[in-house]
Amino acid sequence: MKKKIYILLIIISGILLVGCTNSMTAREAVRDYLEMYVTLDNKVIEQIDEYVENEEFNEEQKKIYKEILKKEYSTLSYEILNETYDGDVAYVKTKVKVMDLYKVQKDSSDYYENHKKEFNDEKGIYDKSKFLTYKLKQMMDATETTTYEIEFKVIKEDNNWNVSQLSNEDLEKIHGIYKYEE
């Protein structure tokens, strides 16, 4: 599932990069980029729908997963800490606060390890769908948040500041799945 989340992150971030033009400052480009998540911009919703449709979930699980992603994005909050400019390149340090979905997924896996029989079918065989339903419910009910710092690289092209492609690590932070413990 983590590999598939990376694909979603790359798709959405690519779409969002296109939408971050026409800002007057690098700070505004970062703000616009993050606001596309918070406001659930149509481009973000389309990408969520497309991504979830390709997941190996049943219809109810797909519906729940879409709601989880919407909740994650719409509850994201941020604070722009500072910005530095070096010609047509700027670095904008930002603090983001997101739902801690990494912890929920880790706790769900830990629960599975100690309660494997709960996820078996009537024949005693592991039923992946039962575990996915359990994990999605835990994700939907998540209330804990975590905060990360991200330094956005913003490049000025044709008099417009554009957020550069984020690293996988920074995308994971935005999406609340960054593995912050070993």
CB 80 within 8 A of CB 30: yes
pLDDT category of residue 55 using cuts at 50, 70 and 90: confident
Tell me how far CA of residue 70 lies from CA of 21, 105, 121, 122, in angstroms.
Answer: 24, 17, 31, 34
pLDDT digit string, tens, across residues 118-143: 999 999 999 999 999 999 999 999 99
Give the lowest-confidence range in 35-44, 46-55, 99-108, 126-135: 46-55
User: How far is the C-alpha of 16 from the C-alpha of 163, rounded, in Å?
Assistant: 9
Handedness of CA 114, 115, 119, 123 (dihedral sign): positive
User: How far is the C-alpha of 48 from the C-alpha of 12, rounded, in Å?
Assistant: 8
DSSP structure string for 62-104: HHHHHHHHHHHHHT-EEEEEEEEEETTEEEEEEEEEEE-HHHH
Residue 18's pLDDT is what?
47
pLDDT of 42 higher than 70: yes
pLDDT category of residue 41 using cuts at 50, 70 and 90: very high
Average pLDDT, the chain: 90
Q: Strands 145-157 and 160-163: what pairing?
A: antiparallel
Please give the residue that has the higher pLDDT: either 27 or 19.
Answer: 27
Residue 23's pLDDT is what?
53
